[in-house]
Amino acid sequence: MKKESILIFFILLILPLIFFGDTTDKSLPPAPKDIEKLFDNYCRELVKLVPEYASRLGINKNMGYEVETDQLNDESEEKVKKWYALKGKYRQWLNTYDRNKLTPSQRRAANILIYALDLDLETEKFQNHFYIINHMTGFHNQLTTLMSQYHTIENLNHANAYITRLGNYKKKFLQISNRLEFKEKTGFLPPAHIIKIVYNEMSNFIDTPAAKNVLYASFRKKLERLDIDMKLKEKLCRQVKEKIETVVYPAYRTVIEQLKGLKKKASSDAGAWKLPGGDEYYKFCLRFHTGTSMTPEQIHKKGRKEVRRIQKEIRKRLAKSGFIVNLPFRQLVSYFWQAEASKDRYQLYYPNTHQGRMQALQDFKKHLNEITLKIPQFFSISPQAKLIIKPVPQYKEHTMITHYVPLSLDKKGGGILYINLSQPPFKPAMKTLAVHEGIPGHHFQMSIERESPGTRMFRNFLYFASYTEGWALYVEKLAMDSGWFEDLYSQMGYLNSQLLKAVRVVLDTGIHYRRWSRTRALSYMRENVGWESTHEIDRYIVWPGQACAYKIGELKILELRERAKKKLKDKFDIREFHTVVLEHGSVPLPILETFVNDYIAEKQTAQFYN
């Protein structure tokens, strides 16, 4: 958040009944009289601008939206200008409403949208800083995921739309290529090794024969569910194969050739500081992802403090178990796990076989079933959606970690915990991972939001990392403190998870603020977690600030819980507190704080009168 946005936002919170103040551009058409119409129109206009994201969310024409399911996002400069114009128009319109005439729910929704629009509008001066070439959220992976996972095919029109979308790859890749040329000229390239990673990914993608490519295989599998003539199915498959060979692969080759040259021109510097205006950009990234106005230095120090605290807790627990702990941390952790593995390797690891991987999936389900039985003691609300567990698709195994995909709005996809089985999971980490990604973590929180009848559609386009990831880390600690991790292995798995999230804060700020090299970042990770991962470090490099959201969010939720406990004393109810945190869905941390403060005040008032 920029400081001006925070000030405006807090004024709205402190003075909830004040008129927004009319500062609109007089050339704009008038805002809708009903603010609910504004909320609805905003979403409808956004859907037209970003058809790919509409497909990801599961928004379709049956829901009353004009969704162009045969189109890809337009990456042209003209379209980017329209995107910012749309954001600016709705932000100004929100200034015109008399807050006295809005319901509490409408005021909350307006505050959240104002917060999000202010952030979006601030990105305009940083639009060139974002890496379109990256291995995490790069356009090439996003497109493959869109087509193979999110483009639904339930009738012939959907199948034809899929083919049309493939035909649009040429235009999309040309626009990406033009943007890359501009970034090359203006100094906004990612590090050379990131370009090399993407170059290799894209090269491997087109090395596969079209008939074995995931774009073809997923289409053919989806067609199996259609009740249409077999000859027509084969015709459609031939058309997809032809599009891959004549449009998709040539489009890839154009960008691959461009990347070959960019690899030689990009620097090896890892941090955002190297970009024009990079220091200011990184400060914005931290505000965007953490929802706070803390400086990079403050966040870096907080991360180091958490690392020391968690390492001390690990030493304490191992000492109680009889281990010698007066060793450098890296050696201590290595010694512990090696000693335990020497007793029985399969206490810690699954066999690296198909059977071992399938057993890991079954064990995840077992852990989640056990956790579900404990939920009523701590929560009075829970989602209806079932959690599905699947392996990460093979084409994404080398770039995508275990992750959760929320329930789609059409209820036909999502609610899925994808487990990366390229290497079978580490057993001690599984319970913590089940809590974080599944129940009562991401699946729990996101499904409650999606299922709530009061959630306005535009909220599905918003993502506040410090709330979403902070909640997942918070429930890890809730599980630990509540005795859900009974054995030392599971407790160590939890502490390792917490330690990694704290180390992430140090690494993110180290790379982008303190100008650490990739090598130095790997060294810090190795010495303070006990292992190193180039994948993790490269994630922080291409996604500045996001890695800080977990710890900052968790610490804020814990702070709010302690505040409620202190104020309410014996009247504090953990189930009520969790309802307050969850019932409004994903929100910025400053807005969450007002919800908790309001809850405390209302509870105290009720106590006074009773």
| Digit-coded pLDDT (tens) for 238-294 | 999 999 999 999 999 999 999 999 999 999 999 999 999 999 999 999 999 999 999
443 in a structural domain: yes
The pLDDT value recorded for residue 489 is: 95
578 in a structural domain: no
Whether 332 and 207 map to the same domain: the answer is no
The pLDDT value recorded for residue 398 is: 72
Paired tokens of 156: 């012939």
Whether 111 and 178 map to the same domain: the answer is no
pTM of the model: 0.90
Whether 29 and 61 map to the same domain: the answer is yes
The pLDDT value recorded for residue 25 is: 58
Cis bond leading into 428, ω under 30°?
A: no
Domain finish residue from 510, 527, 552: 552
Q: 278-290 and 549-568 helices cross at what angle (nearest 10)?
A: 40
Whether 36 and 116 map to the same domain: the answer is yes
Which of 141-161 are b and which e, b meaning 16 or more Cβ less than 10 Å from the residue's Cβ? bbbbbbbbbbbbbeeeebbeb
The pLDDT value recorded for residue 24 is: 46
Domain finish residue from 101, 127, 153: 127
79 in a structural domain: yes
Which residues, in sequence order, are CB contacts of 494 under 8 Å at separation 6+?
A: 431, 432, 476, 479, 480, 485
Whether 295 and 248 map to the same domain: the answer is no
Whether 328 and 402 map to the same domain: the answer is yes
In 3D space, the residue among 394, 105, 143 whose CA is nearest the CA of residue 252 turns out to be 143
Can you give the residue range of the structural domain that contains 241?
Answer: 139-268
Whether 196 and 307 map to the same domain: the answer is no
Task: Count the domains in the chain.
Answer: 3
The pLDDT value recorded for residue 610 is: 60
Give me the residue label for tokens 């918070």.
474
Residue type, 125: K
How distant, in Å, are the alpha carbons of 45, 83, 188, 191, 277 from that of 181? Answer: 30, 22, 10, 16, 19
DSSP conformation class of 362: H
Which residues, in sequence order, are CB contacts of 460 under 8 Å at separation 6+?
A: 57, 409, 450
Whether 413 and 464 map to the same domain: the answer is yes
What are the residue ranges in the chain where pLDDT is below 50? 1-24
Paired tokens of 417: 């915990």
Whether 179 and 323 map to the same domain: the answer is no
Which residues, in sequence order, are CB contacts of 96 under 8 Å at separation 6+?
A: 20, 22, 24, 30, 31
610 in a structural domain: no
pLDDT 10s digits, 373-393: 999 999 999 999 899 999 988
The pLDDT value recorded for residue 142 is: 93
94 in a structural domain: yes
601 in a structural domain: no
414 in a structural domain: yes
Paired tokens of 123: 């990105």
Which of 27-47 are b and which e, b meaning 16 or more Cβ less than 10 Å from the residue's Cβ? eeeebbeebeebbbebbbebb
Whether 75 and 210 map to the same domain: the answer is no
Which of 373-411 are b and which e, b meaning 16 or more Cβ less than 10 Å from the residue's Cβ? eeeeeebeebbebebebebbbebbeebbbbebbbbbbee
The pLDDT value recorded for residue 3 is: 34
566 in a structural domain: no
Domain finish residue from 552, 571, 599: 552
Paired tokens of 287: 């505000």
Whether 542 and 397 map to the same domain: the answer is yes
Whether 94 and 157 map to the same domain: the answer is no
How distant, in Å, are the alpha carbons of 344, 345, 356 from that of 353? Answer: 18, 15, 5
The pLDDT value recorded for residue 423 is: 83
